[in-house]
Structure 1
Amino acid sequence: MPIYDYFCPSNNRKVEVMHSIDREVKTWGEVCELANCEVGETASDAPVRRLLSAPMLSIPTSNADYRNAGFTKLVKRDKGVYENVTARD
């Protein structure tokens, strides 16, 4: 499930929650319910807005990272022979 950031102008708080893409969250009470946190002094029917956030990208930095992600990395060696550097020994 995707992670979304919501901002409540009533209390100037930003909360990160996870829910399905087809669910619409419009109030502070719904955000607190999804985040498992207390509503506090803010009214539960206070409006919230969803913020734009950058997607999380994972960039492999080692041969083991490629292997763990399910990829195969081939490196060209002498005379055009390719070696699988992500193969398990």
Structure 2
Amino acid sequence: MPIYDYLCPSNNRKIEVMHSINREVKTWGEVCQLAGCEVGDTPEDAPVRRLLGSPMLSIPTSNADYRNAGFTKLVKRDKGVYENVTAQD
């Protein structure tokens, strides 16, 4: 599931929550429920805004990283033969 950041202009607090892409979160109460935190002094019906965030990218740096991520890396060797360098030994 994707992770989203929400900002409540009423209290100027930012909270990170994880939920389905199809779910619409519009109030502070909903955000707190998803995050598992207390509402505090802010009204539950206070509106929130979803913030834009950059996705976390992971770039494999070794053959083991490719293997652990579930990918296969083939390297062309002599005479056009490809070798699977991520195969388990």
How many angstroms apart in 2 are the aligned matches of 1:79 and 1:20? Answer: 49
Partner SS for 2:29: helix
Unpaired runs of 5+ in structure 1?
none
SS of 2:37's equivalent?
coil
5+ long unaligned stretches in structure 2: none
Q: How much is the aligned-residue C-alpha RMSD, in angstroms? A: 1.3
The amino acid that maps onto 2:58 is S
Structure 2 match to 1:75: 75
Q: Secondary structure, in 3 states, of the residue corresponding to 1:75?
A: strand
2:8 alignment partner in structure 1: 8
Q: Please list the CA deviations of residues 34-73 of structure 1 after superposition, one character each: whole Å capped at 9, or x if unmatched.
A: 0000111111111100011112222111101101112111
May I ask how many residue pairs the two structures share in their alignment? 89
What TM-score comes out, normalization by structure 2 length? 0.89
Deviation, 1:82, is 2.6
Counterpart of 1:28, as a letter, is W
